[in-house]
Amino acid sequence: MERKKFLSSLALASVGGTVLTSCLNTQSNNETTITQAGFNAGFIFHSVYFWLKDGITAEEDKDFLKFFDILKKVPGVQSCHIGKPAKTNPRPVVDNSFSYHIMLTFENLEAITKYEEHPDHLAGIDQYSKYWVKVEVKDTVIS
């Protein structure tokens, strides 16, 4: 049973905004759904990748991370995960060129829409956009 729990949690990993589902437990009728792992249809994974400007100082990098503290407190955010690129083996399909990745989760489309328009979210963008040269957002809805 522990192996099944591990495989279910592994299936929730987000890679480039894509949810891996190939490792989920299957029902006896061979149907596999993300809801078996505890997510309901309509659940949103909001993955944002940031490429910071060259020459950012350690102080500026530390200041930029305050942006994430703001974002995770915006109403509607269910969870927040922050990371840097993994030092995985280079392959044509792997992009480790970003500086930071934040993955926020939302219960549904209504919640993420409110988040996108929230004054704290917008003020944070205004305050911290001076540090990045590129941002990519990849949203995934569970069906």
What's the fold here for domain 39-141?
Alpha-Beta Plaits (3.30.70)
pTM of the model: 0.74
Q: What is the 3-state secondary structure (H, E, C) of the chain?
A: CHHHHHHHHHCCCEECCEECCCCCCCCCCCCCCHHHHCCCCCCEEEEEEEEECCCCCHHHHHHHHHHHHHHCCCCCCCEEEEECCCCCCCCCCCCCCCCEEEEEEECCHHHHHHHHHCHHHHHHHHHHHHHEEEEEEEEEECC
pLDDT digits (tens, 9 = 90+) for 63-97: 999 999 999 999 999 999 999 999 999 999 999 99
Delimit the domains of the chain by residue range.
39-141
